[in-house]
Chain A
C-alpha cells in the first residue's frame, strides 16, 4: 500500500463507535457470555476494582489527584466516565491474588488425602484497563506463563480473560508511561481498546479498536457503526494531550546504565533514611510477582494447608537463609527493588519491570519516588 489518502467516509480501519448510551449493551453481552465483569468503582473514598453491573457503577463525575505519598478523590463532576486514572489496587489482585490456598490435606484412616482448590468459576472481563496496566499484565504473563514453569493459579485466572482498555485523557501527577513506552494509548494485548470522546455532550461515545478475534466478534454482535477519520483524529488528540501532561519522566535507557554504575553509591544510605521497608511499593506494583508460602496445621494435626501470599523484597524473610538475612539494610533492599524493576528484568525477560504507572510513588507512605531516586544517582559517564 502506498497511498495514505484517507477514504472519505466511515472505515473499519479507524475502528468503531460505541455510543455511551449503549455502553450497557457491551456489559450485558459480557455478562451473558458468562464473564465475571470487573471495573473501577469508587468505594470509601478510594478507587477499587469491583464487580461492574452496569455503566452507572463507573466512577462518573470523579477525578483523583496523585502525588508522592498522596491520592485524593475529587468529586469534580467531570462528565467523563473514566476520569480517574487508577487507584492503588491493580488487576494483579485478581490475576495473581494476594492470598491463595494452594492445597489442603486431611489425615485419613490409611494415610492422607490432598485437595486442590478449583480456579475461578468464570473467566474475567476487565473494563477500563489502562495502557500501563495492560503492559503490566504482559510482564506478568511473561514471568508466570511463558517460562519453563507455568504458574497454575495465574494461568487459570488469566486464560480466557477479556480485556477492555481505556486510553488515558488525564494522566496523574505520578504517571510516566510515556517514558516507559507503555501508554497512554493501549499497545497490544487487548481485546477491545476504548477512547472516551466528547463526554458530557449528546455525542458522548467511545472509539473502539479491536485487538483480537474475540474483540471483533463482540463488535460485530453489538452491531457497532464504523468510526470516521474524524473520530480517530479526536482520539489521537486526546492521547497526544495526555502524553504532553505526564506527571513524571525517566530516561529508562540511561537508568539501566546509572543503576549498573551505582551499586555502591552512598545514595542508598540516603534512601534508607526515608524508606520504611513497609513493602507497600511492591504490593501495589502491578508487575511485582514474588510470593511466599505458609504451611499451617490445625490443633488436632489432622488438617494441613499450604497458602501462597504476596511477598515483598523489603522484608527480612525474603532473603532469610541459614545464618540470617542477606539484605539487612534498607538501602540494600531498596537498591535491589529498583534494580529489579529497571535493570534486571531486562536481562531476564528482555523488557522493563516498570511500566510507569506511578503507583509505587503515590502509595509509598513517605512518597519515595522511583523517578527521583534514579535522577539523584550520579549519571554513568562511561
Chain B
C-alpha cells in the first residue's frame, strides 16, 4: 500500500524571502524533497499552483498589515499542519523595530507618497494570530534544520531541534570562545542553537539570529558585555536586530540605550 504524497504549500508574509530561498538552497536535496512531498503551492519556485487544502504549510514572514492578518487565517484554515519559518514569522523580524517607534513618522521619512501605504503599527509573529504547530527559528533558517523538520513531519516523529544555547554547538564544534579568548561580545549564551555556531567559528560574536534560547539570562550577559566595553546604545542595538520582538530580547533592549 502506498500512501499518496503529502502536499506542501509555502507562504510569504512580510519578509525578505531569505527563508524561502533556503528551501531552494537545498540543491542536493531538492529532488529528494520533491520525491517525498508534493510541492503544491510555492510561487517563489513555480507559478503552477494546486488548490488547497494542504497537508503542510511553511509560513515565512510577519504580520504587518490588516490584509495579512486576514490572509493568515485563510492559510491556517487551508493547512493541516502549519510551521512558521524564520525570525520574521517567529518573532516579527527586523521590521518589529517599528514596535518601538512611530510608524507614521517612518512612513513620512521613507515614502514619497506615504498616503499610498497601509500598514499596522506593529510587526507581529504568526503565532500571535493563529495556532502554529511548530516554529523553526533563524534569520535565515538553517537548511539542515528545515530538512530535519520535513523528515520528522513525514515520518511522524518529533523533530530534533535543540532549544539550548549556541554555546553548546560552539563547544561541540571545538570553537575557541570568542568572548573568553578575545573579549568579543557574543550573544551565543542567550541565543538558541541551530546555526551550528557559524559566527564564532569565524571569530565573530553571535548576532542572535535564532532568537532567545530556552532559559535566556540576557541581563547577566549584558552586564558582561558592558564590562567588555559596550556602551548603553550598543547594548540596546545588539538586542534589537532580527529578533527584536522576541520577549527576552525586547525586555533587554528596553533596559538599555537611555
A197 interface residue (CB < 8 Å to B): no
User: Given A45-B182, A88-B176, are A98 and B221 neighbors across the interface (CB < 8 Å)?
Assistant: no
Cross-interface CB contact of B176 among A45, A277, A315, A366, cutoff 8 Å: A45
Taking the closest CB of chain B, its distance from the CB of A100, in whole angstroms, is 11
B155 interface residue (CB < 8 Å to A): yes
User: Given A71-B181, A297-B157, are A279 and B176 neighbors across the interface (CB < 8 Å)?
Assistant: no
A20 interface residue (CB < 8 Å to B): no
B58 interface residue (CB < 8 Å to A): no
In whole angstroms, what is the CA distance A37 to B116 when docked?
Answer: 69
Residue in B168, B189, B214 whose Cβ sees the most chain A Cβ within 10 Å? B168
**8 A Cβ contacts from B164-195 to A:** 164-165, 167-168, 171-174, 176-177, 179-183, 186, 188-190
Q: Which residues of B contact A364 (CB under 8 A)?
A: 180
State whether B176 touches A87 (Cβ < 8 A): yes
Q: Which residues of B contact A309 (CB under 8 A)?
A: 172
What are the interface flags for B136-160 relative to A under an 8 Å C-beta threshold, 1 for contact and 0 otherwise?
A: 0000000000011011101101001
B119 interface residue (CB < 8 Å to A): no
State whether A300 touches B181 (Cβ < 8 A): no
State whether A276 touches B189 (Cβ < 8 A): yes
The residue of chain A having its C-beta at the shortest distance from the C-beta of B32 within the complex is A299
Beyond A93-B174, A284-B171, 15 extra complex contacts between A and B, CB < 8 Å: A45-B181, A275-B220, A276-B221, A278-B189, A279-B164, A279-B165, A295-B160, A298-B151, A299-B29, A299-B35, A299-B154, A312-B164, A316-B214, A365-B177, A365-B179
**20 A-B Cβ contacts within 8 A?**
A44-B203, A46-B181, A48-B174, A70-B183, A88-B171, A98-B171, A273-B219, A273-B220, A276-B190, A277-B165, A278-B165, A279-B171, A296-B151, A297-B152, A298-B151, A299-B29, A299-B36, A299-B151, A315-B214, A316-B164
B128 interface residue (CB < 8 Å to A): no
State whether A294 touches B160 (Cβ < 8 A): yes
Cross-interface CB contact of A283 among B157, B168, B219, cutoff 8 Å: B168
Residues of B whose CB lies within 8 Å of any CB of A are 29, 32-33, 35-36, 147-148, 150-152, 154-155, 157, 160, 162-165, 167-168, 171-174, 176-177, 179-183, 186, 188-190, 203, 214-215, 217, 219-221, 223-224
State whether A363 touches B155 (Cβ < 8 A): no
State whether A88 touches B177 (Cβ < 8 A): yes
Residues of A whose CB lies within 8 Å of any CB of B are 44-48, 69-73, 87-89, 93, 98-99, 273-280, 283-284, 294-301, 309-310, 312, 315-317, 330, 362-367
Residue in B152, B173, B176 whose Cβ sees the most chain A Cβ within 10 Å? B176
Q: Which residues of B contact A367 (CB under 8 A)?
A: 224
Q: Which residues of B contact A46 (CB under 8 A)?
A: 176, 181
In whole angstroms, what is the CA distance A98 to B219 when docked?
Answer: 29
State whether A312 touches B168 (Cβ < 8 A): yes
State whether A366 touches B155 (Cβ < 8 A): no
The residue of chain B having its C-beta at the shortest distance from the C-beta of A49 within the complex is B174
The residue of chain B having its C-beta at the shortest distance from the C-beta of A276 within the complex is B189
State whether A316 touches B163 (Cβ < 8 A): yes
The residue of chain B having its C-beta at the shortest distance from the C-beta of A280 within the complex is B167
State whether B171 touches A71 (Cβ < 8 A): no
State whether A317 touches B164 (Cβ < 8 A): yes
Q: Which residues of B contact A298 (CB under 8 A)?
A: 32, 151
Q: Which residues of B contact A98 (CB under 8 A)?
A: 171-174
State whether B171 touches A69 (Cβ < 8 A): no
State whether B172 touches A310 (Cβ < 8 A): yes
In whole angstroms, what is the CA distance A367 to B228 when docked?
Answer: 12
Q: Which residues of A contact B181 (CB under 8 A)?
A: 45-46, 71-73, 88
Q: Which residues of B contact A297 (CB under 8 A)?
A: 151-152, 155, 157
In whole angstroms, what is the CA distance A296 to B182 when docked?
Answer: 36
Cross-interface CB contact of A69 among B29, B148, B165, B224, cutoff 8 Å: B224
Q: Which residues of B contact A316 (CB under 8 A)?
A: 163-164, 214-215
Taking the closest CB of chain B, its distance from the CB of A265, in whole angstroms, is 19
User: Given A69-B224, A299-B147, are A279 and B168 neighbors across the interface (CB < 8 Å)?
Assistant: yes
User: Given A299-B147, A365-B189, are A330 and B217 neighbors across the interface (CB < 8 Å)?
Assistant: yes
User: Given A315-B214, A365-B179, A365-B186, are A283 and B165 neighbors across the interface (CB < 8 Å)?
Assistant: no
In whole angstroms, what is the CA distance A283 to B168 when docked?
Answer: 7
Residue in B220, B221, B223, B224 whose Cβ sees the most chain A Cβ within 10 Å? B220
In whole angstroms, what is the CA distance A296 to B160 when docked?
Answer: 7
Q: Which residues of B contact A44 (CB under 8 A)?
A: 176, 203
In whole angstroms, what is the CA distance A366 to B165 when docked?
Answer: 15
Cross-interface CB contact of B221 among A48, A99, A317, A366, cutoff 8 Å: A366
Taking the closest CB of chain A, its distance from the CB of B93, in whole angstroms, is 25
User: Given A46-B181, A275-B220, A283-B168, are A300 and B176 neighbors across the interface (CB < 8 Å)?
Assistant: no
Q: Which residues of A contact B190 (CB under 8 A)?
A: 276, 278
In whole angstroms, what is the CA distance A89 to B172 when docked?
Answer: 10
In whole angstroms, what is the CA distance A11 to B170 when docked?
Answer: 49
Taking the closest CB of chain B, its distance from the CB of A68, in whole angstroms, is 10
Cross-interface CB contact of B220 among A99, A284, A312, A366, cutoff 8 Å: A366
The residue of chain A having its C-beta at the shortest distance from the C-beta of B185 within the complex is A365
State whether B217 touches A275 (Cβ < 8 A): yes
Q: Which residues of B contact A277 (CB under 8 A)?
A: 165, 215, 217
Taking the closest CB of chain A, its distance from the CB of B47, in whole angstroms, is 25
In whole angstroms, what is the CA distance A278 to B219 when docked?
Answer: 14
State whether A279 touches B174 (Cβ < 8 A): no
State whether B180 touches A362 (Cβ < 8 A): yes
State whether B217 touches A365 (Cβ < 8 A): no
Taking the closest CB of chain B, its distance from the CB of A258, in whole angstroms, is 24
Taking the closest CB of chain B, its distance from the CB of A46, in whole angstroms, is 3
Taking the closest CB of chain B, its distance from the CB of A257, in whole angstroms, is 29
Taking the closest CB of chain B, its distance from the CB of A335, in whole angstroms, is 15
